[in-house]
């Protein structure tokens, strides 16, 4: 049973380009979380999704950011027109159910650098 | 709203010394989790505490959940260099599925 797979591990984008981050949850997990982590800081919640549904996007900026978790395929975090401030590590986590009643498994993260 | 403070933010210890990090909430928590993140790594689940006054041990790590379920602690006995990393308490707010991370305690172990 493979763990949570994120790709790419490192992504460099120029300002104004689009960044697409992918997350394949663990087999059997239908709950996905996305977090952003700035250097030397904690993890900030962005969005929580179940298959085909966004459950809680309260941590996601209103503009330029979007997330999806289609019926087939990985969850995608999309950042349009990236700016320098988007540079961060983006972690995806999956769990068999939502909330803190069960362990969340994290992927290795995608380190986004905007130049 | 719910506020959870994690202290200290940083801790430097000599190898062999003990280490403790604390999470304190302004409201009752249904449960609490602890995660560890190694430098350059990703968060890894350590434990979940559910019951009032619960104490769980994993080798040199001892986790406690307060009687009022408003605070929790992680204690490491006789630290080793492999303990280096940031330790986070994680919880969900009432009626929320969102996992919220504390600010973390960054542990450095001096050999």
Judged by CB atoms closer than 8 Å, whether chains meet at B97 and A48 is answered as yes
Residue B96, pLDDT > 80, answer no
CA–CA separation, B46 and B34 (whole Å): 5
CA–CA separation, B31 and B93 (whole Å): 10
Question: Which tokens go with A64?
Answer: 């330029």
Residue A99, pLDDT > 90, answer no
CA–CA separation, B14 and B108 (whole Å): 8
Judged by CB atoms closer than 8 Å, whether chains meet at B98 and A93 is answered as no
Q: Which of residues 46-105 of B touch A (CB under 8 A)?
A: 48, 88, 90-92, 96-104
Q: What share of chain A is helix, strand, coil (3-state, %, to 5)?
A: 5, 50, 50
Residue A1, pLDDT > 90, answer no
Average pLDDT over residues A20-44: 92
């Amino acid at each position: 049973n493979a763990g949570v797979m994120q790709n790419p591990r490192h992504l460099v984008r120029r300002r104004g380009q689009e960044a697409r981050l992918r997350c394949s949850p663990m087999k059997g997990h239908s709950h996905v979380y996305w977090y952003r982590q700035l250097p030397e800081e904690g993890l900030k919640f962005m969005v929580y999704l179940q298959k085909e549904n966004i459950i809680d996007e309260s941590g996601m900026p209103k503009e330029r950011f979007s997330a999806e978790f289609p019926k087939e395929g990985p969850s995608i975090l999309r950042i349009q027109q990236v700016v320098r401030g988007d540079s961060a590590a983006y972690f995806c986590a999956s769990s068999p159910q939502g909330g803190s009643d069960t362990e969340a498994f994290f992927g290795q993260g995608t380190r986004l650098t905007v130049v | 709203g719910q506020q959870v403070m994690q202290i200290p933010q940083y801790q430097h210890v000599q190898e062999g010394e003990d280490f403790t990090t604390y999470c304190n909430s302004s409201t009752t928590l249904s449960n609490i989790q602890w995660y560890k993140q190694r430098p350059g790594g990703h968060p890894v689940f350590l434990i979940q505490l559910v019951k009032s006054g619960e104490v769980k041990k994993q080798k040199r790590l001892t986790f406690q959940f307060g009687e009022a379920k408003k605070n929790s602690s992680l204690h490491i006995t006789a630290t080793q260099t492999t303990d280096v990393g940031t330790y986070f308490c994680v919880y969900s707010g009432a009626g929320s599925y969102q996992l919220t991370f504390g600010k973390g305690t960054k542990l450095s172990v001096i050999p």
